[in-house]
Amino acid sequence: MLACTECGKTADSFELGWSVFSLDDPDAPGEQTLVTYCAECLAREFGGLLRWLTYSGPEN
């Protein structure tokens, strides 16, 4: 089961728009932690960055 780090929403499977990131754990130096975002929270928290990362240039 997935649980969104921001809002707590859960999903039984990896649904469209959900993302999981592996990050350095700030509370345990040298350890990794997983952070999960539902589609809505991902867009709210990282929308601008995600648009920039997927930008393919001006349309012709």
Tens digit of pLDDT for each residue in 39-53? Answer: 888 888 887 666 555
Tens digit of pLDDT for each residue in 4-58? Answer: 999 999 999 888 888 888 999 888 989 999 999 988 888 888 876 665 555 556 6
**Cα(20)–Cα(11) distance, integer angstroms:** 13
pTM of this prediction exceeds 0.95: no
Give how far Cα 54 sits from Cα of 11, 44, 58, 59, Å. 25, 16, 12, 13
All structural domains of the chain with their residue ranges: 2-53
Q: Specify the residue for token string 């601008």.
A: 48
The helix, strand and coil proportions of the chain, stated in percent and rounded to the nearest 5, come to 25, 25, 50
